[in-house]
Chain A
Amino acid sequence: MLSSQDKIKHLYWRSGFGLSPEEWKKAQDLTLQSHIKHIFNTAAKAGNIKSEIQERSEAEFKKLSKEERKALLKKEKQLVIKQNAEWVVRMSDKSESAFLEKMSLFWHGHFACITKRSKHANQQLNTIRTHALGNFRTFVHAIAKDVSMIRFLNNQQNKKRSPNENFARELMELFTIGRGHYSEQDIKEAARAFTGWSSDFRGDFVFKKRHHDYGQKTFMGKTGDFDGGDIIDIILDRPETASFICQKIYRFFINEKINEQRLAKLSKRFHNSDYDIKDLMVHIFSSDWFYDKENVGTKIKSPLELLAGIMRTFDVNFKTEDSILFVEKALGQVLFKPPNVAGWAEGKNWIDNSTLMIRLNLVAFLFQATDINFKIKEEFESKKRNKAVRKIKADIDLKPLLNQYTDSNENETFEHLSQYLIQGNFKVKLKNLQPYLAKSDQENFIKSLALRLMSLPEYQVC
């Protein structure tokens, strides 16, 4: 059995990005149940993200010269990087809802879109935040009308006279029911139902009547004059859709190895509640088995879980957005730029010799204790060769961590800090770390101890 402390820690790592030193200190004053309540309450209070992009009408845009348009696109690209960096900061910010950020990250990987326009990225993020803990059925309806999705999966080109199946296919294969539960004919019929679902210049959804196919469609055994909304509802009526989504949630929040019995129960519950995501998540976090040892310390942190977790432990202030982008690129997870519509492959897929060495050295890089020498691959559009990055520009505030150990001796500090930083049943021995710790004063001792613990492979899991 996990101690109540370790349960709380597990809850915060899986529902968010760990705890800051102060949060960890205070965590023990409350019961696990109160913590669960707390994270849901905080998530409910979080609002939408404001966009700073200036609206421009189509007429205005058309007046721009080629160079001006180019400059505009460049600016857009920079803004998306800024939105990306701000999201990372929110994940680590103690005044934000880490749980909502984590749910949003999950759904961003699920409804994976590559978005190059700042306004569209912001719009999609807000759609995700609105529904992240709401109703999955409503969520799918909303995402099918989301401009980033429509454009990324070519529904803009899906017209009665020349249907484009891209969105219809991925809707079933990746977003809802999964392979094996529909036919190629179902894809064709669904694509017809989504004809005319388009977006206008501003990025709002428009239904283009003249491109819509009003004919009869036969989809998953049902026949009627279906439009896209009907198709979504038919797919969601099927219990296999609940299983497919629960399986993904299980892998992301609980364990890559699935306990089939438990999954079946979760799926049934999710389907019976007509896709109440909040109910499902409350149930998972409140279940005893969620805190079983087999589910703790087994998940390889995604690059953003790792980075935001470090930023939560120390107050890390990146001086440029590019520094955050560098870490994301080197580790293989760039927000608003998933590898493809299937999203990020989690787990062991994060790890190869190159990403692992960056991960193990990440805290050392932030402390400027080790030089980096790493060149990011060129983007396809880029004409220049990238230069190797030597330093990450960031300020680190260690005070919140140091304040916890003003009266502790070496052993107490070690016991406490390793319990705080390492998840799961891994015992790190102080004597193995001793030769690498600074002894000059308490501050340097704690700093070197944290650095060493966070450089261990054990720190890579939660």
Chain B
Amino acid sequence: MKRRNFLKSATLASTSLMVPAFLKGYNGNGILKNRTGKNLVIVQLSGGNDGLNTVIPFQNDIYYKNRPTLGIQQNKVLKLNDELGFNPAMEALRSVFDDGKMCILNSVGYPNPDRSHFRSMDIWHTASHSNEYLQTGWIGRYLDNKCQGCEKPYHALEVDDSLSLAMKGIQQSGFAMSNPKALKKATDNRFLRAAAEHEQDKEGSVAYLYKTMINTQSSADYLYDQSKIHQSKISYPATAFAKDLRQIAELITADTDTKIYYVSLSGFDTHAFQKNAQEKLLQKYAEAMAAFIKDLKQNELLDDTLIMTFSEFGRRVKQNASNGTDHGTANNLYLMGGNLQKAGFYNAGPNLSDLDKGDLKYEIDFRKIYATILEDWLDADASSILTGGLGKLSLV
């Protein structure tokens, strides 16, 4: 079969799979029966969120001694148990926590931590050791590993104009799209659509470029159609981050063949005058996440969804002279969803009396969390995606 014909028939085949939603049981209330697969949503807090001022060890003297002006006063903390509580800016997530839809893991990190944003984010994206340089990301390698449904170019979607390293594989990468309408507009280029038609028997690198171009065009069409199926009935805050989450909720509800979503919120590098800056961001984060959870729950999709929030590092225990905090090491990480093995706190809060030159020591290697998500949530073989026998946790 000539490549062109093959491509045509492939397009036809995928169109026939794109059965209109109403035929698949979409009842207009956003509830779709008989859907398959689980969704993973990864939320990245860029810049190094200060975990100690997000989940506060309000009984700990060392915390208050190290943070004479930055420490959150005990009576302001939203207490979650006898030791730990939310920053008041996280109010919106309190009910999610109380409902058992959230699991907080403390002291998550890796050996020989790197305090450069750039490098530490690289380590989180590639799941490498701190002295190892990988050029593919952990989600990218999952896609490369012939996971089920992964042949779809939009199996993993980053809500952004460009793609993060976490999403880059060798054979296959994730797909970047900040919004379906803009992408559709950008790919509705008559000339390039026609060029795709004339593509015949190309070889090597050029064939690869044509394949990527054609995939981008067909994905743009598909995602644009999917985005029109369901409009969320929940009111989201008027922030860009909330808009991104709303987009994800709508695509999930429309039973889109995208199973992994990636989204970021940036600005957490709070070296000076941290309090206002961080609390503004935490509020943005908490309110958008709460709406997102509510939306999924209303559509009976929360049980099929796991949301992981991470940041490239936490911050130093001691505040600095500018009422801020400098780059640190281990941090807390949040899982949300309807199917958590252990809701609440996975482990005790960080040990502030046993620091490594003023920084928290890690207890949980983040790659164990990845391994657990890959094996227990995505049914993948983690050993072919991550290096080293890391073991798993009981999370989902």
A binds B: yes
Give every chain B residue within 8 A of A436 (Cβ-Cβ).
190-191, 194
Q: Within B1-55, which residues are at the interface with A (CB < 8 Å)?
A: 46-48
The reply to whether A380 and B215 contact each other, CB–CB distance below 8 Å, is no
Whole-angstrom distance between the Cβ of B316 and the nearest chain A Cβ: 16
Whole-angstrom distance between the Cβ of A137 and the nearest chain B Cβ: 25
Is the CB of B60 closer than 8 A to any CB of chain A?
A: no
B167's nearest neighbour on chain A, judged by CB, is A352
Give every chain B residue within 8 A of A340 (Cβ-Cβ).
118-119, 122, 133
B277's nearest neighbour on chain A, judged by CB, is A383
Q: How many angstroms between the C-alpha atoms of A343 and B277 in the bound complex?
A: 34
Residue-wise, chain B 204-223 has the 8 Å CB interface mask toward A (1 for contact) of 11101110110110010000
Residue-wise, chain B 111-133 has the 8 Å CB interface mask toward A (1 for contact) of 00000011101100000000101
Q: Pick the contact of B205 from A341, A374, A461 — CB < 8 Å? A: A461
* A330, A383, A432, A452: residue with the most chain B Cβ atoms closer than 10 Å: A383
Q: Pick the contact of A382 from B190, B205, B215, B266 — CB < 8 Å? A: B266
* B153, B182, B209, B267: residue with the most chain A Cβ atoms closer than 10 Å: B209
Give every chain B residue within 8 A of A370 (Cβ-Cβ).
189
Is the CB of A299 closer than 8 A to any CB of chain B?
A: yes
Is the CB of B160 closer than 8 A to any CB of chain A?
A: yes
Give every chain B residue within 8 A of A348 (Cβ-Cβ).
170, 205, 208
Q: Within B370-392, which residues are at the interface with A (CB < 8 Å)?
A: none
Q: How many angstroms between the C-alpha atoms of A200 and B162 in the bound complex?
A: 39
Q: How many angstroms between the C-alpha atoms of A429 and B197 in the bound complex?
A: 13
Q: Within A359-409, which residues are at the interface with B (CB < 8 Å)?
A: 360-361, 370, 373-378, 380-385, 388
Residue-wise, chain A 273-304 has the 8 Å CB interface mask toward B (1 for contact) of 00000000000000000000000011110000
A165's nearest neighbour on chain B, judged by CB, is B131
Is the CB of B240 closer than 8 A to any CB of chain A?
A: yes
Is the CB of A411 closer than 8 A to any CB of chain B?
A: no
Is the CB of B187 closer than 8 A to any CB of chain A?
A: yes
* B122, B206, B208, B267: residue with the most chain A Cβ atoms closer than 10 Å: B206
**Given contact pairs A354-B163, A432-B194, A432-B198, A457 touches B206 in the complex (Cβ within 8 A):** yes
B208's nearest neighbour on chain A, judged by CB, is A348
The reply to whether B161 and A361 contact each other, CB–CB distance below 8 Å, is no
Q: How many angstroms between the C-alpha atoms of A348 and B208 in the bound complex?
A: 8
Give every chain A residue within 8 A of B133 (Cβ-Cβ).
174, 340-342
Is the CB of B234 closer than 8 A to any CB of chain A?
A: no
Give every chain A residue within 8 A of B264 (Cβ-Cβ).
377
Is the CB of A356 closer than 8 A to any CB of chain B?
A: yes
The reply to whether B176 and A455 contact each other, CB–CB distance below 8 Å, is no
Is the CB of B302 closer than 8 A to any CB of chain A?
A: no
B160's nearest neighbour on chain A, judged by CB, is A377
The reply to whether A339 and B190 contact each other, CB–CB distance below 8 Å, is no
Q: How many angstroms between the C-alpha atoms of A200 and B192 in the bound complex?
A: 54
Q: How many angstroms between the C-alpha atoms of A175 and B153 in the bound complex?
A: 35
The reply to whether A380 and B121 contact each other, CB–CB distance below 8 Å, is yes
Whole-angstrom distance between the Cβ of A450 and the nearest chain B Cβ: 13
Interface size class of A (residues with CB under 8 A): 35 or more
Q: How many angstroms between the C-alpha atoms of A407 and B204 in the bound complex?
A: 37
The reply to whether B189 and A351 contact each other, CB–CB distance below 8 Å, is no
The reply to whether B209 and A380 contact each other, CB–CB distance below 8 Å, is no
Q: Pick the contact of A355 from B117, B162, B194 — CB < 8 Å? A: B162
* Residue total for B at the interface (Cβ-Cβ under 8 A): 57
Q: How many angstroms between the C-alpha atoms of A21 and B209 in the bound complex?
A: 26
Is the CB of A34 closer than 8 A to any CB of chain B?
A: no
Whole-angstrom distance between the Cβ of A412 and the nearest chain B Cβ: 22
The reply to whether B208 and A351 contact each other, CB–CB distance below 8 Å, is yes
Q: Pick the contact of B206 from A297, A375, A452 — CB < 8 Å? A: A297
A425's nearest neighbour on chain B, judged by CB, is B203
Whole-angstrom distance between the Cβ of A306 and the nearest chain B Cβ: 12
Residue-wise, chain A 423-438 has the 8 Å CB interface mask toward B (1 for contact) of 0101001001001100
* B161, B168, B202, B215: residue with the most chain A Cβ atoms closer than 10 Å: B161
Q: How many angstroms between the C-alpha atoms of A376 and B178 in the bound complex?
A: 11
Q: How many angstroms between the C-alpha atoms of A165 and B202 in the bound complex?
A: 47
Give every chain A residue within 8 A of B194 (Cβ-Cβ).
432, 435-436
Q: How many angstroms between the C-alpha atoms of A382 and B48 in the bound complex?
A: 12
The reply to whether B195 and A339 contact each other, CB–CB distance below 8 Å, is no
Is the CB of B86 closer than 8 A to any CB of chain A?
A: no
**Given contact pairs A353-B175, A381-B117, A457 touches B195 in the complex (Cβ within 8 A):** yes
The reply to whether B186 and A373 contact each other, CB–CB distance below 8 Å, is yes
Q: How many angstroms between the C-alpha atoms of A458 and B196 in the bound complex?
A: 12
Give every chain A residue within 8 A of B204 (Cβ-Cβ).
298
Is the CB of A234 closer than 8 A to any CB of chain B?
A: no
The reply to whether B213 and A360 contact each other, CB–CB distance below 8 Å, is yes
Give every chain B residue within 8 A of A360 (Cβ-Cβ).
192, 213
Q: How many angstroms between the C-alpha atoms of A330 and B36 in the bound complex?
A: 35
A187's nearest neighbour on chain B, judged by CB, is B131
Is the CB of A345 closer than 8 A to any CB of chain B?
A: yes
Is the CB of A258 closer than 8 A to any CB of chain B?
A: no
The reply to whether A380 and B47 contact each other, CB–CB distance below 8 Å, is yes
Is the CB of B135 closer than 8 A to any CB of chain A?
A: yes
Q: How many angstroms between the C-alpha atoms of A133 and B202 in the bound complex?
A: 36
Whole-angstrom distance between the Cβ of B200 and the nearest chain A Cβ: 10
**Given contact pairs A340-B122, A353-B153, A374 touches B209 in the complex (Cβ within 8 A):** no
Whole-angstrom distance between the Cβ of A28 and the nearest chain B Cβ: 26
Give every chain A residue within 8 A of B210 (Cβ-Cβ).
457
Is the CB of B242 closer than 8 A to any CB of chain A?
A: no
Is the CB of A349 closer than 8 A to any CB of chain B?
A: yes
Q: How many angstroms between the C-alpha atoms of A174 and B132 in the bound complex?
A: 11
The reply to whether A330 and B162 contact each other, CB–CB distance below 8 Å, is yes
The reply to whether B162 and A377 contact each other, CB–CB distance below 8 Å, is yes
Is the CB of A357 closer than 8 A to any CB of chain B?
A: yes
Is the CB of B290 closer than 8 A to any CB of chain A?
A: no
Whole-angstrom distance between the Cβ of A50 and the nearest chain B Cβ: 29
Give every chain B residue within 8 A of A426 (Cβ-Cβ).
202, 206
- Residue pairs across A and B with Cβ atoms less than 8 A apart, 9 shown, are A297-B206, A347-B205, A352-B176, A361-B186, A374-B161, A375-B160, A383-B267, A385-B266, A461-B205
Q: 5 nearest interchain CB pairs?
A: A380-B117, A457-B209, A342-B133, A345-B135, A354-B176
The chain B residues found within 8 Å of chain A, CB to CB, are 46-48, 117-119, 121-122, 131, 133, 135, 153, 160-165, 167-168, 170, 173-178, 182, 185-187, 189-192, 194-195, 198, 202, 204-206, 208-210, 212-213, 215-216, 219, 240, 264, 266-267, 269, 277, 312
The chain A residues found within 8 Å of chain B, CB to CB, are 114, 165-166, 169, 174, 297-300, 330, 332, 339-342, 345, 347-349, 351-357, 360-361, 370, 373-378, 380-385, 388, 424, 426, 429, 432, 435-436, 452, 455-458, 460-461
Given contacts A114-B118, A166-B131, A298-B205, 4 further A-B contacts (CB under 8 A): A356-B212, A375-B178, A377-B162, A378-B266
